[in-house]
Structure formats: C-alpha cells, structure tokens
C-alpha cells in the first residue's frame, strides 16, 4: 500500500510505501487495547457492584441476627409462660380429680429438622439459627395446643359437675315439720303396714313449695291418692314428686330453677291434714328424701 503526502508549502510529494501486514497488525493491536480497556472497566464496575451487594447482604444479615435474638428472647418468655400454665394445669386437674398429663406427652417431641429452601443468600450461622427457631416454635405451638385442650377438658368437666350439682335435689322443698318419714309404716286409712316412699312435711295451707333443684315439669295434675300432684325431672335420673298440693304454680314442660315456687301446700287427695308428700327417685328407685336435704333452705 502506497501513502502519498502533498506539502502545502512547496507542493512536494512524499510517497510512503506501507505493507498491508503492518496495517493489519496495527489495527489488531488497537482492537486488543480497546478490548482490554473495556474489560477492565467492566471488571471494575462489577467489583464495585459486588462490593455494594456484599455490604448490603452484611447489613441484612446483621438485621436478621438482631431480629433472631429478639425472637429467641420472646420465645424463651413464652416457654416460661407455658411452663407456668402447665403447673397451674396440674393443680386444676388435682382439684378436679382428673388424671394428670404425663410429662413425656407434655414434652411434645418433634421429629426431623426443618430445612430452609432457597436459603443460598443466608450465611450458614443465620440459616442454622432460623432452623433452630423453627424447631422451637413447632414445639411451643404443640405444647400450647395440648394445654388449650387440657384447659377445655377441665372446664367441660367442671361445667358438668356444676350442672350436676344444680340438678341434684339438695334443699328442703317447704318449711315445716317432719311427720312421717321414709320406710314402712301403718297406713292411717287401712291400718296395714305399707311402704311409705316419701317424706311428709306438715305446713299451713298455702305455704310455698320450692324446687329443690333445676329441672323440667314432667307432670302437673291430679293423681290417685296424692290429689293435686307435681313431678319434676331433674336429669341424671333424678325425679321428685310433690303430693296433696293446694295449687300448682307451673305447668307441664316448664323449666324451673332451684328455689322457684312451684306449688302451695294443701290437703288434696287421701290426706289427714295439710302437708306435703315429698318423694325423691333415682332411676325410678325411691330414695330417702332426708338424704337429699343438705340445707334447710336455699338461704342457709
């Protein structure tokens, strides 16, 4: 290749002969220098980006570590609370005569360690801390669920006991004088020995008769021998009967509560004078009513 230069001063011609190989090598070297420059710029920029990313990851890991410490403290407090609830639960179960929950069951062991997926951006220490927290949290949740179920069982049991107490005859139905008790006696009308399945309580006519327990009126009307009669169903097999009433204050199907006025003392039916014939039955078997009079009245 020839290169001709013309001088503007004296119009002289200068002729250079350059080989093509030299030009090719020169161009190749220039491209290499340019490529190296671009590569260095790219590496420098990439290093700056990686450094910033590393700094950001370090900051995030520090924040995560701080949050992990806080969560561990909260979980430690929660574990202490659950422990105290378990001790309280043991006392309640003893009070309610319920079997205690075995310590092995309370431990609520969990199997298999939780592995975090897509945790490549976390350091090994942080990942292990998170896995440990997950294990502890599962254990606390399991213990909490067990404790909740135990408390529900205790409440249900005590509610049943309370319901049973409310539906068990336990107070005297009328203020008066015991005249004829439960057992065999001479029938005042026939003169024969006969089983007396109740308790006769003498009281002035019109004296209020109260329900000795919660229940439902099963019968209200006249019954042979007892005159105007009332019968209550208290549940759990308990029933009570009130004979010789002057007047009834409830009807069949009515719900009554302990202490409600259900009737008034009279002398209807086969009666020698105003009194209440009071019976208590358990699963249809007559019981001595005196055994079901724990207090003289609802106020005692």
Q: pLDDT tens across 203-238, in order?
A: 999 999 999 999 999 999 999 889 999 999 999 899
Does 162 lie in the same domain as 202? no
Q: Mutual orientation of helices 124-166 and 20-95 as an angle, nearest 10°? A: 20
CA distance 234 to 115: 59
Domain boundary among 131, 166, 201: 166
Judgement on whether residues 232 and 93 belong to the same structural domain of the protein: no
This model's pTM is above 0.75? no
CATH number at residue 202: 2.70.70.10
Contacts (Cβ under 8 Å, ≥6 apart) of 186: 192, 193, 194
Could you tell me if 3 and 109 lie in one domain?
Answer: yes
Co-location of 18 and 152 in the same domain: yes
Least confident range from 148-152, 243-247, 276-280: namely 148-152
**Residues 142 and 228 occupy one common structural domain:** no
171 located within any domain: no
Q: Are residues 15 and 125 in the same domain?
A: yes
Same domain assignment for residues 139 and 184: no
Q: Quote the tokens at residue 101.
A: 């929950």
Q: How confident is the model at residue 192 (pLDDT cuts 50, 70, 90)?
A: low
Same structural domain, 132 and 66: yes
Which of 114, 139, 166 finishes a domain? 166
Does 172 map to a domain?
no
Domain that holds residue 143: 1-166
Boundary of a domain, candidates 140, 166, 192: 166
Q: Residue 210 falls within a domain, yes or no?
A: yes
Say yes or no: 130 and 21 in one domain.
yes
Mean pLDDT in residue range 190-199: 75
Question: According to the 3-state scheme, what is the secondary structure of the chain?
Answer: CEEEEECCCCCCEEEEECCHHHHHHHHHHHHHHHHHHHHHHHHHHHHHHHHHHHHHHHHHHHHHHHHHHHHHHHHHHHHHHHHHHHHHHHHHHHHCCCCCCCHHHHHCCCCCCCCCCCCCCCCHHHHHHHHHHHHHHHHHHHHHHHHHHHHHHHHHHHHHHHHHHHCCCCECCCCCEEEECCEEEECCCCCCEEEECCEEEECCCCCEEECCCCEEEEEEEEECCCEEEEEEEEECCEEEEEECEEEECCCCCCEECCCCEEEEEECCCCCCCCEEEEEEEECCEEECHHHHCCECCCCC
pLDDT for the residue 22: 57
* Average pLDDT value for the chain: 79
- Asked which of 98-112, 193-207, 229-243, 285-299 is least confident by mean pLDDT, the reply is 98-112
Distance CA 252, CA 221 (A): 9
pLDDT over 90 at 246, yes or no:
yes
Indicate whether 79 belongs to any domain: yes
Q: Does any domain span residue 83?
A: yes
**Does any domain span residue 299?**
no
In a domain, 27, yes or no: yes
Confidence of residue 135 (pLDDT cuts 50, 70, 90): confident
Q: Could you tell me if 122 and 222 lie in one domain?
A: no
Number of structural domains the chain divides into = 2
CA distance 79 to 271: 70
Q: Does residue 188 register a pLDDT over 90? A: no
Cα(75)–Cα(83) distance, integer angstroms: 12
The answer on pLDDT for 115 being more than 60 is no
Residue 300 confidence (pLDDT): 38
Do 92 and 161 fall within a single domain? yes
Q: How confident is the model at residue 264 (pLDDT cuts 50, 70, 90)?
A: very high
Same domain, 161 and 31: yes
Does the residue 298 lie in any domain? no
């Amino acid at each position: 290749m020839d290169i001709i230069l013309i001088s503007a001063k004296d119009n002289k011609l200068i002729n250079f002969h350059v080989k093509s190989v030299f030009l090719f090598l020169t161009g190749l070297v220039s491209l290499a220098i340019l490529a190296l420059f671009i590569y260095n710029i790219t590496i420098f920029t990439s290093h700056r980006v990686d450094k910033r990313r590393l700094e950001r990851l370090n900051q995030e890991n520090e924040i995560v570590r701080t949050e992990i410490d806080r969560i561990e403290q909260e979980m430690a407090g929660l574990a202490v609370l659950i422990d105290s609830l378990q001790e309280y639960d043991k006392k309640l179960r003893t009070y309610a005569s319920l079997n205690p929950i075995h310590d092995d069951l309370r431990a609520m062991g969990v199997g298999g360690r939780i592995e975090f997926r897509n945790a490549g951006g976390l350091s090994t220490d942080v990942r292990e801390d998170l896995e440990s927290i997950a294990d502890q949290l599962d254990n606390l949740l399991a213990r909490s669920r067990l404790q909740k179920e135990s408390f529900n069982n205790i409440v249900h049991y005590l509610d049943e006991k309370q319901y049973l107490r409310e539906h068990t005859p336990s107070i005297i139905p009328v203020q008066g004088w015991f005249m004829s008790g439960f057992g065999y006696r001479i029938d005042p009308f026939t003169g024969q020995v006969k089983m007396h399945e109740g308790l006769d309580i003498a009281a002035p006519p019109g004296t209020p008769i109260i329900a000795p327990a919660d229940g439902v009126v099963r019968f209200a009307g006249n019954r042979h021998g007892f005159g105007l009669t009332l019968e209550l169903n208290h549940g759990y097999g308990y029933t009570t009967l009130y004979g010789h009433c002057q007047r009834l204050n409830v009807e069949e199907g009515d719900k009554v509560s302990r202490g409600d006025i259900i009737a008034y003392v009279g002398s209807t039916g086969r009666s020698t004078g105003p009194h209440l014939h009071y019976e208590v039955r358990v699963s249809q078997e007559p019981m001595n009513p005196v055994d079901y009079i724990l207090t003289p009245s609802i106020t005692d």
